[in-house]
């Protein structure tokens, strides 16, 4: 299982593009066209889905302002990028699912909402099993039916070095 703190932005883009490549290869096989995986990976960040994946991963890891960006990223841009990824991968897995969960959690917390413990785990770089265990033992954020209240989630994340900026 990947943790958000270990996610490398270009790996997320490569994973997204790689999954699309698998779809293309199935079509390419029928047309007897071979796609070079190395070439595809080298330009993963230069594809629309790769750029969207990198934007969402940066936001999930760092919040609205990240290196190379002068102004905060807008909700509309984050949602557009997340929608592109979700449209390309209706049932995401691996780092793509992790980044989408963490980004969703950050968006909800910025709006003052409570969050599912599963997405909080993604943003806090621990496994869903670990956060469930922490919550049930009382040494993690308080959870009721798998949902953590906003204040508890923000406080718990702050203790893990993850800052949530209110909107």
Distance CA 33, CA 125 (A): 40
In this structure, is residue 42 part of a structural domain?
Answer: yes
Residue with more model confidence, 121 or 91 = 121
* pLDDT of amino acid 33: 43
Domain assignment present for residue 167? The answer is: no
Domain limits for position 18: 4-159
pLDDT surpasses 60 at 151: yes
**133 part of a folded domain:** yes
pLDDT at residue 34, rounded to an integer:
44
Whether 88 is in a domain gets the answer yes
Percent of the chain with pLDDT over 90: 36
Q: Which residue has the higher pLDDT, 116 or 55?
A: 116
Based on the structure, what is the number of domains in the chain? 1
What percent of the chain has pLDDT above 70? 84
Output the pLDDT for position 29: 60
Contacts from 84-89 at CB under 8 Å and sequence distance 24+? 84/48, 84/49, 84/52, 85/16, 85/49, 85/52, 85/53, 85/56, 88/16, 88/19, 88/20, 88/49, 89/16, 89/19
Estimate the crossing angle of helix 94-110 against helix 150-159, to 10 degrees: 120
Residue 40 has pLDDT above 90, yes or no: no
Structure tokens at 121: 């785990």
Is residue 151 assigned to a domain?
A: yes
Is the residue at 37 inside a domain? Answer: yes
Q: What is the mean pLDDT of residues 76-86?
A: 91
Average pLDDT in the chain: 83
Distance, in Å, from the CA atom of 112 to the CA atom of 92, rounded to the nearest integer, reads 26
Does 164 reside within a domain?
no
Within a domain: 121: yes
147 strand-pairing partners: 116, 144
The contacts found for 148-151 with CB under 8 angstroms, 24 or more apart, are 148/114, 148/115, 148/116, 148/117, 148/120, 149/114, 150/109, 150/112, 150/113, 150/114, 150/115
pTM here is 0.76
Residue 63 is predicted with a pLDDT of 85
């Amino acid at each position: 299982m990947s943790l958000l703190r270990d996610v490398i932005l270009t790996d997320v883009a490569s994973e997204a593009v790689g999954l699309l490549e698998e779809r293309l290869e199935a079509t390419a096989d029928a047309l007897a066209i071979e796609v070079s995986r190395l070439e595809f990976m080298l330009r993963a960040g230069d594809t629309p889905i790769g750029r969207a994946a990198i934007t969402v991963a940066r936001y999930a890891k760092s919040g609205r302002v990240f290196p190379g960006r002068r102004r905060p990223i807008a909700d509309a841009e984050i949602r557009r990028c997340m929608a592109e990824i979700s449209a390309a991968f209706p049932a995401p897995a691996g780092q793509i699912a992790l980044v989408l969960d963490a980004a969703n959690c950050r968006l909800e917390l910025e709006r003052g909402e409570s969050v599912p413990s599963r997405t909080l785990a993604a943003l806090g770089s621990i496994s869903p099993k670990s956060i469930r265990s922490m919550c049930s033992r009382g040494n993690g954020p308080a959870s009721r039916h798998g949902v953590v209240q906003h204040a508890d989630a923000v406080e718990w994340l702050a203790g893990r070095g993850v800052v949530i900026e209110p909107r």
